[in-house]
A = this chain, B = another copy of it.
Amino acid sequence: MINGEHQRCVMVCQHQSCQVQGAAKVLLAFHMADLPDDTLVMPTGCQGQCSTSPTVRIIPEEIWYCRVQSTDVPLIVEQHLKGGKPVKEKLHPRFHPNC
């Protein structure tokens, strides 16, 4: 087991709707990014948010992004994963209705 206080997993959906909308490129962009050491990137099956794909879910903090494109990844990495401030413009309104 990998231990640590601030570990995160970036779950990048690779199911059908997300794939059609460019999720493979999103996954690749995260894999290519200069991520913090505590951050793991994982492809996943359906996250149930097909209508707002591609979906990126970050656990354990439960930040959900919708309609993510590969061009959004640098900002998510810099501002959120490194800077600790989620990217408001890409937050999924279903999970973050007040943002």
A interface residue numbers (CB < 8 A to B): 1-2, 7, 9, 11, 31, 33, 35-37, 39-45, 48, 59-60, 62
Contacts and interface: CB of A to CB of B under 8 A. Distances in A.
B40 A7 contact: yes
Contacts of A11: 59
Contacts of A62: 44-45
Copies in the complex: 2
A45 B94 CA distance: 14
Contact of A37 (B2, B40, B45): B2
Contact of A40 (B1, B36, B43, B44): B1
Contact of A1 (B31, B44, B59): B31
